[in-house]
Amino acid sequence: MVVKDDELPYLRRCVELAAEALESGDEPFGSVLVAADGTVLAEDHNRVASGDRTRHPEFELARWAAARLSPADRASATVYTSGEHCPMCAAAHAWVGLGRIVYVASSEQLASWLTELGVPAPPVRTLPVSEVAPGVTVDGPVPGLTEEIRELHRRFHRPRA
């Protein structure tokens, strides 16, 4: 599938949420859960500054969907996100039976940016969603917005640079 122009507002909202996360001392990631009819159901940003490093927005949205949506509504929903799901979140997304994923920046892009910034490798291997959850339709990256996400990560890891 391709990312349509009318989907860009959801992706822009993900970038805004990522910026909000950065302002509150969290890593800049944001995600939005959208129903089949285009209604925004839920949104969240990264909250790992609490000390719980599993507080990724995609994981939060998977739990939100499991608690509140029917299996059919989960399957027809889309998760828009500033950065491609990590393996933990891709697994949660698939276990809960959510539908398509659209991301601004890929995990591969993020990994290369963080390497450039000298950030140590994460404790969980970087894998594309397609390797963790092969049944999920995934679209991205979205070139018009990736530079904004890159800049947010630069500001998080090099706040005074």
| Footprint of Zn ion (CB under 5 A) | 56, 86, 88-89
In whole angstroms, what is the distance from residue 96 CA to residue 102 CA? 17
* Residue (10 or 59) nearer to Zn ion, CB: 59
Q: Any idea what the Cα angle at residue 123 is, between residues 118 and 128, rounded to 5°?
A: 90
Rounded least distance, CB 156 to Zn ion, Å = 16
Instruction: Give 82-116 as a DSSP string.
Output: EEPPPHHHHHHHHHHT---EEEEE-HHHHHHHHHH
* Residue (78 or 82) nearer to Zn ion, CB: 82
Rounded least distance, CB 131 to Zn ion, Å = 14
* Residue (74 or 85) nearer to Zn ion, CB: 85
Rounded least distance, CB 4 to Zn ion, Å = 25
Find out whether 77 and 10 touch, Cβ atoms under 8 Å: no
